[in-house]
A and B are shown apart, each in its own frame.
Chain A
Amino acid sequence: MADTPFLIGENMTGGYGTVDILHNCTIAVNKGEIAVIVGPNGAGKSTAMKATFGMLNLRGGRVVLDGEDITKLTPQARVRKGMGFVPQTHNIFTGMTVEENLEMGAFIRDDETGIKETMDQIYSLFPILHEKRNQAAGELSGGQRQQVAVGRALMTKPSVLLLDEPTAGVSPIVMDELFDRIIEIARSGISILMVEQNARQALDIADKGYVLVQGANRFTDTGQALLADPEVRRSFLGG
């Protein structure tokens, strides 16, 4: 099983315009596991993740989801195939209530009772959202907004969830809290692919870690192994 990952972006080469950002980059995540992409600024971390979601033109390589080649699909089509994506910024509908944000997340579903069920699951995962369900999402704190953003993406019942720096700009306490929730989500069988600035904490919860430098894979191993690797520590984790 471990040899055929649930989602894999294989040998991806490409960029937004004419200049390639990714060079033969491979990112994968297994069923129910957490994979984390770390690396210095400008290493193409987010780009690599967006590439698996179809947000840039690939000139080489392919993306396979659950055995199906999805390289040619648009992001919207990938959502329907079971991928959920939480952008780094502008990831909620600020003018709409928390509950409406979740409803919009479920826009492609039409099983009324199923939606209600998923929403209850999200409320039990993030109890604060239930408390604030009728409040405009834009009025919430940073950490709560991230919860709304993750919750919205979970409403499609994705099989894999892509998170672009979910802890950017939140306090360390909130960060730990968010990571706990992310582990919880992974335990429910949803694969998580995540880009993180806070490399140490993220690798700590990761089953698999990818260190990217200049759009190419530099180190790939389990999270713990990377944390233990002296070279990774020296170059990327500040000793």
Chain B
Amino acid sequence: MAHSYRNLLLFAAVGLLFILTGIFQSWNLSLQILNIGILSAIMALGVNMQWGYAGLFSTGVVGSVALGGLAVVVVSAPPVPEAFAAGGWTVLGGLVLGVAVIVAATLLYRSMKPGRARGLAVAAVVVMGFFLYRYVFDSGVAAVEAFNPATYGNIGGFGLPSLLAWPVGALFAGIAAWVIGKIALGLRSDYLAIATLGIAEIVVVVLKSEDWLARGVKNITGLPRPWPVPLEVDLQADAGFVDFVTRWGWEPIGASTILVKLLYMALFGTVLLVLIWGSERALNSPWGRMMRAIRDNEIAASAMGKNVTKRHLQVFIIGSAVVGLAGAMLTSMEGQLVPGVYSPLRFTFLIWVMVIVGGSGNNWGSVLGGLLLGWLWLAVEYLGPNLMGYITAALPPGDLKTHLIDSAQHMRLVTLGVVLLLVLRFAPRGLIPEK
């Protein structure tokens, strides 16, 4: 009883932070931080499944987020029929060919007896397959990217509703997790951390440099909003809406941005609640108990006949899919895919700090951590330079002062690292410990 009281108090305190931000800064800012906070909380839920339930440490959270973002482009970006006609099929054919080569090499490897002949055969398939793949793929890419590169140069999406992209984001991240988990799970625990670091970097590089896919660093903007969120300009043009808000004494522009954010909040909040409900049920089911048994004593669990690696793979995929879902939601809210924002510090390590500060193994803890650190991270971005400005007010203007004010943003990293280390050391169970 005392526990739930304490937890309620913690959530109330975080709620107060958002209310104070609303009162002293602006409600627009507060809601914006809250929405990103909810998305962070979902990502934290996913990471918590991996770490809290199963003790898996992945350093590739950002990769799942980015794959979620890519799903939004694939599903909901407007089609570019001319570009697709020019080379879309060739590109896809090239990709299928690439996968086919890998499958062929794997089958060959499995079917032949170990020895030099097998090594040579597999190498030959891989090398020839690679050149064939590049030949087909490159010609397709050239054709796609040649079409109107200033606006398009990509194969476009399906032009489907943005909401559909969310499960697809989960699917993309899940597939990537399956591949990497298949390889790195069951080995030393460090290997998963190292391998996921790599796959995440590769995903981000693909997004940055494959222009045919999502225009690379030229970014894709103007992605459609998820139902039922309208565009602010449409609201402002809507006579009924303007009439309604002016009657209440609000000005239409501000009210439209607030309404849009409230709708996002409701949408994201619903997803979050459904996920928590699902995770809580899973955690308290026989499956969840087995998961925790494996985490706490792998050797004993495998002695009891549990296939530890398979269970790990399962939970690793589910956790990554949840992160991918949140990544898709983030991109569909922002309405654009900017590969440059996918920094490992922001989307891998910040999420980790959320999980650990909130309480590893506790879903509510992850949500609390997500909201609290989501607020801190963004609030400090706005407040940090101001604060440094106050601190250095007495200094004469000059290099030192500019340097200090500029450095406020770097203090975020240091602070976050110190918070992580302090929590790990002095309160390893986090704010809301596992039951």
Asked if A and B form a direct contact in the complex, defined as CB atoms under 8 angstroms apart, the reply is no
